[in-house]
Structure 1
Amino acid sequence: MNEPTLRIILVDDHASVRDGYRRLLDAEPGLQVVGVAARADEANALVAQVEADVALVDLSLKGSSGIEAIRGMLARRPALKILVLSMHEDGGHITQALRSGAHGYLSKHCEPEDVIDGIRGVAAGKRVFSPAIAQVLAEAASDDTSAFAQLTPREFDVLRMRVQGESANTIATSMQLSPKTVLNNLTSIRQKLAAENDVQLMHLAARHGLLRL
């Protein structure tokens, strides 16, 4: 008896990447791409419109983030399995993606076969990680003072955008928050990370791989 086809959503802001993975996955027996999205709001709307088993999600999206998309999709469809496919291999991104509900995390440097296996793995209820990602998680587990572990997913997103040079108003618009809420989050972030200003935040982010100076 044939296994049911796994229905997949692709969330990536590069059309060429989406098209490439759509061709790859649709050519694989038992897999079918049922929708694509380039932004968090598009992904959130999509899961309300189509039945899907797995979402393959990049963390760098235009005007939003994959972490925001993960939270929104799971709020609308809790049974959805999330597999992150990202160029970010630092502990901050990995930890926050898992906190937001991701079931697996693969590096974009992995082979196409690893992505296919990863999709099937998370659909079967397994945790799936690239070897490099697993190593980062192992190192983070032995470091109780991991800088970003104490931030909430929203604070992490605010920090990520701030150290990339975005203003509080731009962050507020992107994340659909009030400017006051963003400023309050920035205050909380500085307190938690013991940073007095944005320059110290940038150096801390660079030291932990969140920002490339």
Structure 2
Amino acid sequence: MKSKIKILLVDDHLVVRAGFKMLLAAGDAIEVIGEAERGEQAIQLYQELKPDILVMDLSMPGIGGLETIRRICQRDPAAKILVFSVHHEQVYVGRALNAGAQGYITKNSAPGILAEAIAAIMDGGSYVEQGLIKSQHHNDAPRPDHQAAIAGFSPREFDVFSLLAQGMTVHKIADQLCLGHKTVANYATQIKKKLQVDTTTELAHIAVNLGLTMR
């Protein structure tokens, strides 16, 4: 009998994890062997449980999804990671794949897409949901220097940038990311300097021009 594909499921919402677990368990080829609600926990469970694939969200408290991917892939270059996120923008897809993920699908994709993506990655390939990577034509395109600056952000800088663009305050960002207020303030200053802007409003404009829509 063929052994089941072992999945570690990572999402900070219990209800979401429960729904995904039911979806994954619908067939007889996949088994969820562990769940985590934040990146630090996912890294620990990955080492302990050694799943075949890690299925994870990007938006979560603590070190965040992108940094989690990077750290796991540093420790295990053969790690198989599928991102299952609410974000459909190319900048998120690109950063997740660059961090080491083999696949990226959105949470509003058809149920069969999840199993299809897992199968493709298990076969040694990659899987990006159709339509997520495409050329953009926008009359109000971001300046190339802004694109280059954002591409060079560390995972933590990108997390702070995304939350600032949503209009969140430094104190709220600090609470969500489990960082000190001064640390987040320093990140905000660095980000504005790299983007050559003075206000959070200008920063949000850049995010809009990049096609970033936040939950």
User: CA contact under 8 A between 2:166 and 2:214: conserved in structure 1?
Assistant: no
Task: Show the 5 A alignment for 1:52-201.
Answer: 52-62=51-61, 65-135=64-134, 138-139=135-136, 145=144, 147=147, 148-168=150-170, 171-172=173-174, 174-175=176-177, 181-201=183-203
**Identity of aligned pairs, percent?**
34
Q: TM-score, normalised by structure 1?
A: 0.82
Q: Bigger CA drift: 48-57 or 162-171?
A: 162-171
User: Is the counterpart of residue 19 in structure 1 residue 18 in structure 2?
Assistant: yes
Unaligned runs of 5+ in 1: none
Counterparts of 1:121 and 1:62 in 2: how far apart (Å)? 29
Counterparts of 1:100 and 1:161 in 2: how far apart (Å)? 20
Amino acid at match of 2:118: I
Q: CA RMSD in A?
A: 2.8
Q: Give 1:203's aligned residue.
A: 205
Q: Output one character per residue of 1:37-87: Cα deviation in whole Å (capped at 9) or x when no partner.
A: 122222122112211111111122245532233223334443221111112
Q: Bigger CA drift: 156-165 or 111-120?
A: 156-165
Question: Cα 1:178–1:76, aligned 2, differ >3 Å: closer, same or farther?
Answer: farther
Q: Bigger CA drift: 79-88 or 15-24?
A: 15-24
User: CA contact under 8 A between 1:6 and 1:53: conserved in structure 2?
Assistant: yes
Per-residue deviation at 1:123? 2.0
Q: TM-score, normalised by structure 2?
A: 0.81
